[in-house]
Amino acid sequence: MEIADYIVADDRELVHRALDGDDAAFEHLFNRYRDAIYNLFVQRLGGTNDADDLLQETFIKVYINLHRYSADYTFGQWVYTIARNTFIDYVRRRQEDLPIDERFTAPASNAPTPEESFINLQQRSQIEHYLERLTPRYRQLIVMRFFEEYSYEEIAAKLALPLGTVKTQIHRAREQMCRMIVEGEKS
């Protein structure tokens, strides 16, 4: 088979040829997916330290298990699955290599400190103060959009208003609230 034939051959044909003992076909499969899998490992590892080893381990598994490849999936999906599982195994091995006291240390807490909780409470009461100063319609729109997290479409449906009207009124309500906040900071 000519080099050009390998280049234009689809993955399934190359797999078939590789299973028949054509090493060049497997080499072309490797070359097609090498960079993508390598970059996946670099991205997940945050660097290149072990990416080469994981790439090699992945394609050894691909070669050994090539007879298990099913044409129900694209070859790329199949290789990616092997790469993902190889990475998971790598992470587990590294976890097992850690001393027991490092394995079971509690992760850093995302809970706010007492100071952050106090600041959040202050900010919340300020926002509620400004909300109370809005007209009832604007207050309702701000609460639905930003506190209850309704989409514009959901708000329009619940209030039986055109979508454009809802967007305009929410924009005006935000502007009014921002003006009150700025004026409140000046005084």
Domain stop point among 74, 103, 132: 103
Domain assignment present for residue 170? The answer is yes
Question: pLDDT > 70: what percent of the chain?
Answer: 83
Please report which confidence band the pLDDT of residue 162 belongs to, taking 50, 70 and 90 as the band edges.
very high
Closest CA to 174 of 141, 125, 147, 126: 141
Q: How far apart are CA 149 and CA 171, in angstroms?
A: 15
Does residue 126 share a domain with residue 54?
no
Q: Assess contact for 15 and 66: CB atoms under 8 A.
A: yes
Q: How far apart are CA 178 and CA 10, in angstroms?
A: 59
Tell me which DSSP letter residue 66 carries: G
Domain assignment present for residue 109? The answer is no
Does residue 175 share a domain with residue 96?
no
Does residue 87 share a domain with residue 17?
yes
Does residue 90 share a domain with residue 15?
yes
Domain stop point among 39, 68, 103: 103
**CATH, residue 95:** 1.10.1740.10
Question: Taking the model in full, what pTM does it have?
Answer: 0.52
At 146, which amino acid appears?
F
| Cα 4–chain centre separation | 38
Residue 120: domain span: 114-186
How many domains does the chain contain in total? 2
- Over the stretch 55-112, which tens digit does the pLDDT of each residue have? 999 999 999 999 999 888 889 889 999 999 999 889 888 877 666 555 555 555 566 6
Rg (alpha carbons) of the chain, rounded to whole number: 29
Does residue 141 share a domain with residue 66?
no
Does residue 10 share a domain with residue 93?
yes
At 61, which amino acid appears?
K
**CATH, residue 137:** 1.10.10.10
Does residue 133 share a domain with residue 90?
no
Q: Assess contact for 12 and 75: CB atoms under 8 A.
A: yes
Q: How far apart are CA 73 and CA 147, in angstroms?
A: 43
Residue 14 has pLDDT above 80, yes or no: yes
Domain stop point among 37, 72, 103: 103
Does residue 130 share a domain with residue 90?
no
Does residue 24 share a domain with residue 76?
yes
Domain assignment present for residue 139? The answer is yes
Predicted pLDDT at 117: 66
Closest CA to 75 of 115, 129, 23, 17: 17
The pair of structure tokens assigned to 50 is 């072990």
Does residue 122 share a domain with residue 76?
no
Does residue 125 share a domain with residue 99?
no
User: What's the average model confidence in pLDDT over 174-180?
Assistant: 84
More confident residue, 82 or 48: 82
The pair of structure tokens assigned to 101 is 């006291």
Q: How far apart are CA 60 and CA 136, in angstroms?
A: 67
